[in-house]
């Protein structure tokens, strides 16, 4: 379009989850006119904070806020300061790990204290901590460039950064096998490997690359945003609105409008909204088959999306309870006595009979989460996704009872009598209410066959003008990674729409 005067390009963003919000902010800052279409009445997606009429607040999904640096850089690129918008509290200890019927670990970034924690489990393993940290520092340094750029073509796998990182990739080694080089005690390995669950995977199958997850915690800390992770999404929406982003809440997009095979806008509420680019933040597995016709998706037809491998799901209880809970830390992880069996059952599609679980008691750090004299409890049980076909209408009451019974192992025998309000989210709810494909809460699995160039690309190759952000695209799921992915996607949109040149011309 060489003869057109510089005009504002319009970008439609489908979904106001963390990926959509991060992309919207950056594209507005780059001079685009941006409209965010969100099917729900609130922003944040899986990262919203639930609020009850009684005054309880619960994070719906994410509770571990890691590596804020990426989001801080995105805020800065939009003329804002993350620390002015959200209060982030660094947790110490990060969390308490309870080995069922046995000892606990209070995980901390204080290396000397952490060595003492490991030594309580196995004195010989304490010496493994510093070499493990040093190795992972090198690993993260090597992989950072790979996680910060797009992978659109096979040739992208041959970049110099990939070749430098490859020797550290050890593709055939699982996360647990990699940890065995440093720690002999299975419980110690679990303390550094259970984080595979953040990706909905098993440490016994998850690629060894992901030791960088627990490394990020030890090196950079675990944070709690005051008001919950939803406060971060709200801050992003605020900054975006200041930059002129228009939010259309309660407005599900029905389809992406195509002309001559190219995206030219979106259709929502019976209206067509023209756009120069469409950024899809809605869950890949759920949304793509609905938003684009099968015939338009040569690389990602319905068949391939259906056959892809997906993360586990989660069974959730959000409990507003009377009284304080001094028994709990802010984050509590109960590792089932037979952790391997627990994971094996999930992989086989069975509901675990004695599950591990994670409980957040944010009130330890943040009094805004519950009314005075009360506590908000977030209970997460990893379970198979819906591809395995559990009937949650039938299973939910039994599983609720099981989850409550499991709280006993964390020292909470009488919680049911103290419940004042309650909400349950099953894999079926994740799919039907929150539009998460197969209820797979952590998106497409992060095995090496579904990463980098094998994951749906940030620039969606099947349909020009369509871009992806969120856990279903490169680099993957988890908030810092999703923000980084949104930065990659925003860069591609800027490039393709010539936004930088247009801004220069306007200036």
Ligand X SMILES: Cc1cc2nc3c(=O)[nH]c(=O)nc-3n(C[C@H](O)[C@H](O)[C@H](O)COP(=O)(O)OP(=O)(O)OC[C@H]3O[C@@H](n4cnc5c(N)ncnc54)[C@H](O)[C@@H]3O)c2cc1C
- Subset of residues 449 to 478 that bind ligand X, contact rule: CB under 6 A: 470-471, 477-478
Q: Residue 290 or residue 309: which is nearer to ligand X going by CB?
A: 290
Stretch that binds ligand X, among 177-185, 277-285, 366-374, 401-409 (CB under 6 A): 277-285
46 binds ligand X (CB under 6 A): yes
Binding mask 218-247 for ligand X (x = CB under 6 A): ------------------------------
Binding mask 296-315 for ligand X (x = CB under 6 A): ------------------x-
446 binds ligand X (CB under 6 A): no
Distance CA 81, CA 71 (A): 10
- The correct pick among 11, 17, 375, 383 for binding ligand X (CB under 6 A) is 17
* Residue 211 C-alpha from the chain's centroid: 17
**Which strands form 331-335's sheet, in the order they lie side by side?**
104-107, 95-99, 331-335, 357-360, 374-383, 313-322, 419-425
What is the closest distance, in whole angstroms, from the C-beta atom of residue 126 to ligand X in the complex? 27
Task: Write the DSSP assignment of 126-150 as a string of letters.
Answer: GGGHHHHHHHHHHHHHHHHHHHTS-
Say which residues have a Cβ less than 8 Å from residue 213's Cβ, sequence separation at least 6.
195, 196, 198, 199, 478
Determine the size of the site formed for ligand X (CB under 6 A).
36
- The correct pick among 91, 162, 232, 253 for binding ligand X (CB under 6 A) is 253
- Subset of residues 163 to 222 that bind ligand X, contact rule: CB under 6 A: 198
- Subset of residues 338 to 377 that bind ligand X, contact rule: CB under 6 A: none
What is the closest distance, in whole angstroms, from the C-beta atom of residue 471 to ligand X in the complex? 4
The phi and psi torsions of 34 (rounded to 5 degrees) equal: -125, 135
Q: Do 411 and 327 meet the contact criterion of CB atoms below 8 Å apart? A: yes
- The correct pick among 62, 68, 221, 475 for binding ligand X (CB under 6 A) is 62
Q: Do 297 and 462 meet the contact criterion of CB atoms below 8 Å apart? A: yes
15 binds ligand X (CB under 6 A): yes
The phi and psi torsions of 15 (rounded to 5 degrees) equal: 110, 135
Q: Residue 30 or residue 479: which is nearer to ligand X going by CB?
A: 479
- The correct pick among 26, 49, 63, 214 for binding ligand X (CB under 6 A) is 63
- Subset of residues 382 to 441 that bind ligand X, contact rule: CB under 6 A: 435, 441
- Residue 477 — left, alpha, or beta (φ > 0 → left; ψ -120 to 50 → alpha)? beta
Burial of 133 (0-12, 13-18, 19+ CB in 10 A): middle
Polymer length of the chain:
507
Stretch that binds ligand X, among 33-41, 114-122, 334-342, 448-456 (CB under 6 A): 33-41
Judged by the rule CB under 6 A, the positions of this chain that interact with ligand X are 14-19, 37-40, 45-47, 61-64, 66, 198, 252-253, 281-283, 287, 314, 380, 435, 441-442, 470-471, 477-479, 482
């Amino acid at each position: 379009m060489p003869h057109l005067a510089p005009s504002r390009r319009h970008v439609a963003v489908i979904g106001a989850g963390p990926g959509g919000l991060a992309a919207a902010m950056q594209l507005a800052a780059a001079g685009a006119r941006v409209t965010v279409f969100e099917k729900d009445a609130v922003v944040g997606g899986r990262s919203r904070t639930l609020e009850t009429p009684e005054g309880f607040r619960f994070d719906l999904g994410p509770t571990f806020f890691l590596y804020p640096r990426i989001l801080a850089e995105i805020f800065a690129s939009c003329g804002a300061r993350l620390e002015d918008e959200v209060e982030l509290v660094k947790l110490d200890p990060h969390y308490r790990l309870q080995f069922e019927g046995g000892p606990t670990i209070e995980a901390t970034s204080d290396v000397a204290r952490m060595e003492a924690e490991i030594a309580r489990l196995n004195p010989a393993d304490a010496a493994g901590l510093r070499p493990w940290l040093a190795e992972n520092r090198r690993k993260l340094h090597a992989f950072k460039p790979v996680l910060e750029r797009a992978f659109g073509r096979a040739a992208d796998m041959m970049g110099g950064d990939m070749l430098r990182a490859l020797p550290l990739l050890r593709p055939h080694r699982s996360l647990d096998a990699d940890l065995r080089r440093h720690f002999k005690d299975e419980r110690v390995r679990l303390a550094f490997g259970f984080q595979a669950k953040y990706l909905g995977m098993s440490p016994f199958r998850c690629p060894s690359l992901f030791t960088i997850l627990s490394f990020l915690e030890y090196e950079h800390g675990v944070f709690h945003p005051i008001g919950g992770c939803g406060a971060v999404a709200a801050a992003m929406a605020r900054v975006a609105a200041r930059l002129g982003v228009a939010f259309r809440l309660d407005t599900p997009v029905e389809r992406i409008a195509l002309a001559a095979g190219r995206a030219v806008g979106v259709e929502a509420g019976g209206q067509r909204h023209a756009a120069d680019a469409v950024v899809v933040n809605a869950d890949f597995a759920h949304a793509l088959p609905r938003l684009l016709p099968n015939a338009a998706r040569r690389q990602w037809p319905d068949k391939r999306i259906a056959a892809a491998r997906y993360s586990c799901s989660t069974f959730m209880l959000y409990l507003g309870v009377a009284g304080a809970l001094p028994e709990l830390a802010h984050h509590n992880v109960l590792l089932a006595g037979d952790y391997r069996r627990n994971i094996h059952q999930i992989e086989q599609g069975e509901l675990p009979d004695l599950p591990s679980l994670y409980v957040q008691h944010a009130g330890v750090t943040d009094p805004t989460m519950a009314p005075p004299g009360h506590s908000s409890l977030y209970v997460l049980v990893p379970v198979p996704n819906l591809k395995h076909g559990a009937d949650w209408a039938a299973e939910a009451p039994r599983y609720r009872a099981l989850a409550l019974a499991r709280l006993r192992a964390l020292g909470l025998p009488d919680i049911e009598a103290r419940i004042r309000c309650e909400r349950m989210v099953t894999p079926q709810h994740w799919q039907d209410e929150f539009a998460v494909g197969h209820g797979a809460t952590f998106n497409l699995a992060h095995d090496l066959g579904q990463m980098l160039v094998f994951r749906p690309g940030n620039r969606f190759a099947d349909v020009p003008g369509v871009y992806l952000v969120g856990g279903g695209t490169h680099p993957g799921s988890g908030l810092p990674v999703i923000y980084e992915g949104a930065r990659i996607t925003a860069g591609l949109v800027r490039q393709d729409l010539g936004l930088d040149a247009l801004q220069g011309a306007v200036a």
